[in-house]
Structure 1
């Protein structure tokens, strides 16, 4: 069995696919679409690279969809509250804290994954890794 060892530039590009989402999140707050668009652009820019790079770009992109959905709901709910179209409720705060925890876990997992991928280790996220395997073929 032949074991493929990614080259240095491949490790860097694959790790950057995860870091792109973090940079976009910091630059585009509070608009969730900025993060998703940046990840999509990075994905399309690197889709003709090696399998290793494509796989990690795909996993980074897939991981952004649930985050985008939860952040978008929170964003528009907050807008409705600020415009006075809806009353503040305990359910809003429960959702707010849930989304914050989801974002913090994603942030930590993204940094960990970027560091490990940069070292040449294959990191597959629970659920997202399996979906990535179905989408991305060598």
Structure 2
């Protein structure tokens, strides 16, 4: 088992031998959210909807694939929440004559940092998953594993 303290991502082999098509589908659950990034940048709900459809379409799949579809969905859900707060805060500053203050600037820094880290971690996870390596993010691992009964 490999553990990366810097990003709090844990990798290990799955409990059974993952076949190639299963690893590819699990990896695609992450890459699919990247395909929708062109539509999802202005409205991140598109990424969440696409991920949810992929999640629903794979509910009767293997535990490996279901776990990664669940994991991707939670990842996109957290992005939607964080990005929506930033969107509406900007909306109120622009159209409701709210104050542009240091709190907003700090939140934008946090928002961009979180989005960048999520982007890097998603790509890393997609590549590792494609190899059949089981990757767990510190924030979502317990939730996604418990929903799939792993």
TM-score (norm. length: structure 2) = 0.85
Higher strand share: 2
| Equivalent residue, structure 2, for 1:32 | 44
> Following the alignment from structure 1 to structure 2, what is the Cα–Cα distance between the partners of residues 123 and 7?
16
SS of the equivalent of 2:135 reads coil
> Following the alignment from structure 1 to structure 2, what is the Cα–Cα distance between the partners of residues 54 and 91?
39
> Following the alignment from structure 1 to structure 2, what is the Cα–Cα distance between the partners of residues 61 and 28?
14
> Following the alignment from structure 2 to structure 1, what is the Cα–Cα distance between the partners of residues 97 and 45?
23
| Superposed structure 1 runs of 4+ greater than 3 Å apart | none
> How many residues align structurally?
136
Higher helix share: 1
Aligned-pair distance for 1:132?
1.0
| Equivalent residue, structure 2, for 1:44 | 56
1:79-90 mapped onto 2 (5 Å cutoff): 79-90=91-102
- Counterpart pick for 2:120 among 103, 108, 111: 108
Q: Higher relative contact order by CA 8 Å / sep ≥ 6: 1 or 2? A: 2
Cα-Cα RMSD: 1.4
Aligned-pair distance for 1:131?
0.9
SS of the equivalent of 1:86 reads coil
Aligned-pair distance for 1:27?
2.4
- Asked whether the 8 Å contact 1:24–1:35 carries over to 2, the reply is yes
Aligned-pair distance for 1:60?
0.9
> Following the alignment from structure 1 to structure 2, what is the Cα–Cα distance between the partners of residues 91 and 107?
24
Query: 1:45-73: per-residue Cα shift (whole Å, max 9, x none)?
Result: 11111111101101111122222111000
| Equivalent residue, structure 1, for 2:10 | none
TM-score (norm. length: structure 1) = 0.91
